[in-house]
Amino acid sequence: MNYSHLLKRAILSEKSYDLMDHGRYTFLVAKDASKNQIKKAVEGQFQVNVVSVNVLTKSAKTKRIARTRKTTNIGSGKKAVVTLQKGQSIALISTKSEKSNAKKTESKVEGKETKPQKGRGILAKFRRSNAEKEKE
């Protein structure tokens, strides 16, 4: 059975980025999805081994719309925190530190070292002229 429709999107927040460092990924899932279905969906879509799935249901908050004086429900949904087997990760969803490390290695591989650019504009000219005066 195809479970790919159960995973709506990955939740990317500060807390979820911290959990990614420990091999735990957070997804927004369909309300009728069970833990076993979520496990099979993640394993099938990302080719990883799932150790456990924790699920929590967020209740909706009522917000008032000023123009029409009506209320709507916002923020309801079901979140799943998926723990992967040790040493595995999902390549499409990587932490900020992994992205910055990848950029650094790419620039070193190309042989180009990044140099700080000289500032442009009036303030930069003023700073340069002051630095030249101090050298004299």
Q: Quick one: average pLDDT of 103-108?
A: 61
Residue 114 has pLDDT above 60, yes or no: no
Q: Tokens standing for 57? A: 């249901």
Tell whether the model's pLDDT for residue 48 goes beyond 80: yes
Q: Does the residue 114 lie in any domain? A: no
82 or 108, which is more confident: 82
Give the DSSP letter string of 7-46.
EEEE--SHHHHHHHTTTEEEEEE-TT--HHHHHHHHHHHH
**Domain extent for 46:** 1-95
Q: What is the radius of gyration, based on Cα positions, of the chain?
A: 24
* Three-state SS at 83: strand
Q: How many domains does the chain have?
A: 1
Residue 119 in domain: no
Inter-CA distances, 78 with 16, 60, 95, 100, 115, Å? 15, 11, 22, 31, 46
pLDDT at 103: 62
For the segment 1-31, what is each residue's pLDDT rounded down to a tens digit?
A: 788 899 999 999 999 999 999 999 999 999 9
Residue 36 in domain? yes
pTM of the model: 0.66
Give the pLDDT score at 93.
Answer: 81
